[in-house]
Amino acid sequence: MPRHVSHALRIGRMPMGRPQNGRQKNQGKQQEYSKRIRHLAYLLKIKSLRGGNLVAAAVQLRLIRVKLIKAMTFHLFEQNDSSPQNEEIAPGAVFLHRFALPHEAAILQALSEITASAPFRHMVTPGGHQMSVAMTNCGLLGWISDKSGYRYSPADPQTGKNWPRMPEVFLRLATTAASEAGFAGFAPDACLINRYHPGTKLSLHQDKDERDFSHPIVSVSLGIPAVFLFGGLKRTGKTQRLPVQHGDVIVWGGPARLRFHGIMPLKPAIHPALGSFRVNLTFRKAG
C-alpha cells in the first residue's frame, strides 16, 4: 500500500482520490482543529483541555453536560421541588403533594387534643397478634380490632366513651382533597389515626370493613417519611413503591379503592413536628 494511502487510512480524515499533499493538508487541518478545540476549551472554561489533559477534560465535559441538561430542564425540577402538583398515580388514585401543609399547625393541635382523650393503643388482631402500629380514632365511627374481628364502633372500647368528634380542620381537609381528586360530596364519618415509629410496618391488606366501596379513602401523611406499597386487586403480583412525606395527601377511590396496600418498615428519622414518629390519618365513609 502506498505510504500516503496508509497514512490517510490511519488518521481516517483525508478523502480518497485526493492523495496529493495529503500529509500537508492533514497537518493544516489538525492545526485548525487544535485551534478550535483550544477556543472551545477557553469558552467552556475547561482548563485541563487547554493544558492537554484529555482525561480530566472528559470528566469536566461530563459535568458541563449534566449542568446543561439541568439548566435546560429547570422548569421540570422547579415544578417537582416546590409547587405541589396533583398527579394521578393510578386510575382512581390521586397524589396531592404537600396538600395538608398549609393546615399543619391546626392539624397537630387537633391531633394532640384527640390523643389526650383517646390515647394511641396497640390493638390485637383476630389471630391474637398485637399490631406494631398504634391506633386511635375520631369521628362518629372508629375502626377497631380484637379477638372477635375487625369492625367499626361508635365507642372507644378502652374508655366506653364515644370517639372524639372529628375536628373541623380534619373534615375540611378531607373533603377538599376528595373534591380536588374528583370525588365531590365526600362526607367522612370515620378517621383512623395510625402511629408508626422506625421499624414499624403495615403488611399488605385491603380495606374492606366499610359499607360502601364507592366512597374514596383520603390518607394524610405526617411526620417522618414512609414508603407506601401499592399492589393490585390480588395479594400476589407487582407492587408499586411510593415515597410519602409530611403533608402529602392521597385520595384512593374508584378502581383503586380495593387495591392491596401497605407500609414498608419505617427507616429511622426525626421530624421537627413529630419527632421520630409518623402519623397517618385515613378518612372514610364507613357507615
Q: Which residues bind ligand MD3 (CB under 6 A)?
A: 192, 194, 202, 207, 217, 219, 252, 256-257, 259, 261, 263, 280, 282
How many angstroms separate the CA atoms of 249 and 48, rounded?
A: 49
When the beta carbons of 175 and 282 are compared against ligand MD3, the nearer one is 282
Q: Which of ligand MD3, Fe ion, none interacts with 259 (beta carbon under 5 to 8 A by kind)?
A: ligand MD3
Show the cell assigned to 28.
493544516
When the beta carbons of 14 and 93 are compared against Fe ion, the nearer one is 93
Contact between 207 and Fe ion by CB under 5 A: the answer reads: yes
Query: In one letter, which amino acid is 16?
Result: M
* Secondary structure element (H or E) that encloses residue 172, with its range: helix 168-180
Phi-psi bin for 198: left (phi > 0), alpha (psi -120 to 50), beta? beta
When the beta carbons of 49 and 190 are compared against ligand MD3, the nearer one is 190
Contact 198, 276 (CB under 8 A): yes
Contact between 210 and Fe ion by CB under 5 A: the answer reads: no
Minimum distance of ligand MD3 from residue 117's CB (angstroms) = 21
Contact 107, 222 (CB under 8 A): yes
When the beta carbons of 110 and 229 are compared against ligand MD3, the nearer one is 229
Minimum distance of ligand MD3 from residue 201's CB (angstroms) = 10
Helix axes of 22-43 and 3-11: crossing angle, nearest 10 degrees? 20
Minimum distance of ligand MD3 from residue 251's CB (angstroms) = 10
Residues in a beta bridge with 244: 226
Q: Which of Fe ion, ligand MD3, none interacts with 100 (beta carbon under 5 to 8 A by kind)?
A: none
Query: In one letter, which amino acid is 258?
Result: L
* Secondary structure element (H or E) that encloses residue 142, with its range: strand 142-146
Contact between 189 and Fe ion by CB under 5 A: the answer reads: no
Q: Is the dihedral of CA 53, 58, 63, 67 positive or negative?
A: positive
When the beta carbons of 60 and 246 are compared against ligand MD3, the nearer one is 246
Q: Which of ligand MD3, Fe ion, none interacts with 252 (beta carbon under 5 to 8 A by kind)?
A: ligand MD3
Minimum distance of ligand MD3 from residue 148's CB (angstroms) = 19
How many angstroms separate the CA atoms of 277 and 259, rounded?
A: 26
Q: Which of Fe ion, ligand MD3, none interacts with 173 (beta carbon under 5 to 8 A by kind)?
A: none
# residues contacting Fe ion (CB under 5 A): 1
Minimum distance of ligand MD3 from residue 235's CB (angstroms) = 13
Q: Which stretch binds Fe ion (CB under 5 A): 118-126, 155-163, 164-172, 207-215?
A: 207-215
Q: Which of ligand MD3, Fe ion, none interacts with 256 (beta carbon under 5 to 8 A by kind)?
A: ligand MD3
Q: Which of ligand MD3, Fe ion, none interacts with 280 (beta carbon under 5 to 8 A by kind)?
A: ligand MD3
How many angstroms separate the CA atoms of 65 and 106, rounded?
A: 46
How many angstroms separate the CA atoms of 93 and 183, rounded?
A: 11
How many angstroms separate the CA atoms of 285 and 279, rounded?
A: 20
Which whole-number Å values give the CA distances from 249 to 5, 136, 164, in the listed order? Answer: 70, 19, 22
Residue nearest ligand MD3, Cβ-based: 280
When the beta carbons of 57 and 249 are compared against ligand MD3, the nearer one is 249
Which residues form the interface with Fe ion (CB under 5 A)?
Answer: 207
